[in-house]
Chains A and B, each alone.
Chain A
Amino acid sequence: MSAVSLPPTATLSRGRSLRQDAWARLRQNRLAMACGTVLIGIVLLCYVGPLFCSHTIEAQNLDQGATPPSAEHWFGTDEAGRDLLVRVLTGGQVSLNVGALATLVSLIIGVAYGATAGYLGGRADSVMMRVVDVLYSLPFMVFVILLTVAFGRSMMLLYLAIGAVEWLTMARIVRAGVQAQARQEFVEAARSLGLSDSRIIFRHIVPNVLGPVIVYTTLTVPAVMLLEAALSFLGLGVQPPQSSWGSLIDQGAKSMETYPWLLGIPAGFFSLTLFCFNFVGDGLRDAIDVKSGKD
Chain B
Amino acid sequence: MLRFILRRLFQSLLVLGVVFTATFFLIRLKPGDPFAGEKAMPASVRAQMEKRYGLDLPVWKQYFVHAASFARGDLLPSLRYEGMPNAKIIADSFPVSLVIGLSALTVALGVGLPAGIIAALRKNTWLDYSAMSLAMLGICLPTFVMGPVLQWIFALKLGWLNVAGWFERSDWILPSATMGLIYAAYIARLTRGGMLEVLNQDFIRTARAKGVPGRQIVLGHALRGGLLPVVAFLGPAFAGITTGSFIIEKIFQLPGLGQHFVGSVFNSDYTLVQATTVFYAALLVLINLGTDILQAWLNPRVRLT
Contacts and interface: CB of A to CB of B under 8 A. Distances in A.
A234 B262 contact: yes
Interface string B24-57: 0011011100000000000000000000000000
A230 B262 contact: no
Interface residues of A, number: 40
Interface string B130-147: 000000110111101101
A270 B146 CA distance: 12
A249 B136 contact: no
Interface in A257-277: 257, 260, 263, 267, 270-271, 274-275
B23 A257 contact: no
Nearest to B30: A149
Q: Is the interface of A mostly helix, strand, loop or mixed?
A: helix
Contacts of B281: 137-139, 142
Contacts of A152: 31
Contacts of B147: 253
A274 B146 CA distance: 14
A235 B16 CA distance: 28
A27 to B, nearest CB: 21
A151 B144 CA distance: 25
B118 interface: no
B239 A143 contact: no
Nearest to A292: B193
Contacts of B30: 149-150
A234 B247 CA distance: 7
Nearest to A295: B196
Majority-rule SS of B interface residues = helix
Contacts of A143: 22
Contacts of A252: 148
Given A137-B288, A151-B29, A234-B262, A142 B250 contact: no
Nearest to A139: B280
A246 B142 CA distance: 10
A253 B148 contact: yes
B148 A137 contact: no
A278 B246 contact: no
A147 B18 CA distance: 15
Interface string A46-65: 00000000000000000000
Contacts of B59: none
A271 B284 contact: no
Contact of A256 (B22, B31, B136, B152): B152
A146 B156 contact: no
B244 A279 contact: no
Contacts of A256: 148, 151-152
Indicate the member of A137, A279, A294 with the most B CB atoms within 10 Å.
A137
A128 interface: no
B19 interface: yes
A253 B243 contact: no
Nearest to A233: B144
B152 to A, nearest CB: 6
A253 B243 CA distance: 21
Interface string A223-261: 000100110011100000000001001101100110010
B139 A278 contact: yes
A139 B137 contact: no
B87 interface: no
A173 interface: no
B139 A230 contact: no
B161 interface: no
A145 interface: yes
B251 interface: yes
A263 B151 CA distance: 13
23 contacts: A134-B11, A137-B285, A138-B15, A138-B284, A139-B239, A139-B281, A140-B239, A141-B240, A142-B281, A145-B262, A146-B22, A146-B273, A150-B26, A150-B27, A152-B31, A222-B140, A249-B145, A256-B148, A267-B145, A271-B140, A271-B141, A271-B145, A274-B142
What are the nearest 9 A-B pairs in CB distance? A150-B29, A139-B280, A274-B140, A253-B148, A275-B140, A150-B26, A267-B145, A146-B26, A149-B30
